[in-house]
């Protein structure tokens, strides 16, 4: 059974779809597409059904990554459906955990930046109200964090038999 990752930000049009698509890109390059499934969601319902933000799409394209998907809102069922839920910032983290009042799934929720290897930021900044450099910065940070995340999952070519 594939390992299931869910990336979560506020509106699911900038950071979390970028993380989802970057991770899919890295997974494909590693030959692990059948071992890991990625999705993304937002804690708010602002953009349900919307495609990724055009500025984010352009920033990802500059790194050779295509952003796909449609925004959806995080639901309680996601706790059961995913093995690891990655929040882009502390507010998203708190919003996710607020849907788990009994604390049954808290162990599945982590901050995305916990996996960054070359960046010291503790949160993925929301580039929505900024300029091009903010979007480019988020893509670079997410590339780093997704590579670090894949390393921690122990699903490299040598470890495939363990899953």
The active-site residue, picked from 9, 38, 113, 146, is: 9
* Range from 77-91, 104-118, 146-160 carrying the lowest mean pLDDT: 146-160
Is 113 considered catalytic here?
no
Q: What pLDDT, on a 0 to 100 scale, did the predictor assign at position 162?
A: 37
pLDDT of residue 154: 75
Give the phi and the psi of residue 27 in degrees, each rounded to 5.
Answer: -60, -45
- Check 14, 15, 53, 72 and give the catalytic one: 15
DSSP symbol at 50: P
Q: Residues 13, 18, 19, 21: is their CA dihedral positive or negative?
A: positive
**Could you give the CA distance from residue 28 to residue 38 in angstroms, rounded to a whole number?**
12
CA angle at residue 156 from 150 to 158, to 5 degrees? Answer: 160
- In the predicted model, what is the mean pLDDT of residues 131-160? 86
pLDDT confidence of residue 161: 38
pTM of the model: 0.94
pLDDT recorded at residue 73: 98
Q: How confident is the model at residue 155 (pLDDT cuts 50, 70, 90)?
A: low
Q: 83 an active-site residue?
A: no
127 class by beta-carbon count within 10 Å (0-12 exposed, 13-18 middle, 19+ buried):
buried
Evaluate if residue 145 carries a pLDDT over 70: yes
Instruction: Report the pLDDT value the prediction gives residue 34, as an integer from 0 to 100.
Output: 96
Give per-residue pLDDT as tens, 11-52: 999 999 999 999 999 999 999 999 999 999 999 999 999 999
Active-site entry in 126, 136, 144, 146: 126
Give per-residue pLDDT as tens, 45-104.
999 999 999 999 999 999 999 999 999 999 999 999 999 999 999 999 999 999 999 999
Residue 95 designated active-site? no
């Amino acid at each position: 059974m594939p390992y299931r990752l869910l990336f979560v930000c506020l509106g699911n049009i900038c950071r979390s779809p970028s993380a989802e698509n970057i991770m899919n890109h890295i997974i494909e390059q590693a030959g692990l597409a059948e071992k890991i499934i990625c999705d993304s969601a937002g804690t708010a319902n602002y953009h349900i059904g919307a495609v990724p933000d055009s500025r984010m799409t352009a920033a990802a394209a500059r790194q050779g990554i295509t952003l796909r998907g449609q925004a959806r809102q995080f639901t309680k069922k996601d706790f059961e459906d995913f093995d690891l839920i990655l929040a882009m910032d502390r507010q998203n983290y708190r919003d996710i955990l607020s849907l788990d009042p009994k604390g049954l799934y808290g162990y599945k929720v982590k901050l995305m930046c916990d996996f960054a290897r070359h960046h010291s930021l503790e949160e993925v900044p929301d580039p929505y109200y900024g300029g091009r450099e903010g979007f480019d910065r988020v893509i670079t940070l997410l590339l780093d964090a997704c590579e670090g995340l894949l390393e921690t999952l122990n699903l490299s070519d040598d470890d495939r038999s363990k899953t």
